[in-house]
Structures are given as C-alpha cells and as structure tokens.
Copies of this chain bind each other. A is one copy, B any other.
Amino acid sequence: MKHMFKYSLLILITLLAACSTDKGSGETSAQSESVFPLGEILISDNFSGTVWLQMMGAEDSTLHARFGNVTFEPKARTNWHSHPGGQVLFITEGQGYYQAKGQPAQILRKGDHVEIPRNVVHWHGAGPDTEFAHIAISLNSDEGGAVWLGPVTDEEYEGLNN
C-alpha cells in the first residue's frame, strides 16, 4: 500500500508537468500566428515604429495592382497618405486602426476588411498593445502610386480613445 501511494504521487507530479506543458505550447502558437510571410523590416520615412513588409506583386504590370503583407508592431503606423486608384486592406492578425482624415478612427480586427476610396487621406496601423497585420492591395496602380503626407503625431494617436 505504501509503495502504491509513492507511485501514485509520482504519476501525479508527471501529469501536472504534462498539463502545464500543453497549456504553455498552446499560448505560444496563438501569439506567434501569422498567415502570410512577415518579410523584412521596412526602412521608410513614411511609417512610424517597427513595420515589416513582404511585397508580393503584381509581377504582371498589366494587372494594375500592387500588393503585399504589412505587419505593424504595437503603436507602429503609416503616415497620412492617399492612393489615386484606391486600396483594400484585409486584416489577418491582431487589432489596429484605419482613420480617414476628419473622421473617427475605425477599430479593425482579424477578419475585417477596409475599402479605401480614391484620393482619401488616411492612415492605418497597430493598436497600442497589439501587433496588427493586413494584406494591402493598391488598385488601378497605373493611375499613380501613394501620395505621402506627414506622420500621425503621438497626440493624434493617443487621442483616439479619448
């Protein structure tokens, strides 16, 4: 009986370890989930904070589209800008914002999309505490590339939730 008690204690400890390992690995995989390739850190004056970019195409210029995967670390964001041909964003990870000049910011989550009209001045980027990733498809790119303006200031960004 004494031996059986020792053995059952040993199994208890083993099971406790096994359970905590399961939970640990689960959390890790959830945090590091990214649907499309991260690419490289983007070195550009048109963005604030750490942003990763994987350009994808279009290889065929007659498609009149440019697209890639953009990943923003918390607080990272584009400058104010506009697209002559418009753009669509498909959110694949995390939570962030889209704001058209003069409008309230929209909160965007994984599974959302945003249609950005031609020539509307706007910005997009991550929330204060969360990574944010989207596919960006610039449309009618034969009509010209993005028109870049100034940064979204800390006052503008921090004022979003006030």
Give A residues with C-beta under 8 Å from B: 1-2, 4-5, 8-9, 11-12, 15-16, 18-19, 22-23, 26, 35-37, 56-60, 62-65, 67, 85-86, 88, 90, 92, 110-111, 113, 115, 117-118, 135, 137, 139-140
Residue of B22, B56, B140 near A64 (CB, 8 A) is B140
> If the complex has contacts A57-B88, A110-B35, A115-B57, are A137 and B137 also in contact, measured as CB distance less than 8 A?
yes
Q: How many copies does the complex hold?
A: 2
Nearest CB in chain B to that of A15: its residue: B15
Residue of B11, B58, B86, B135 near A62 (CB, 8 A) is B86
Residues of B within 8 A of A35 (CB): 35, 92, 110-111
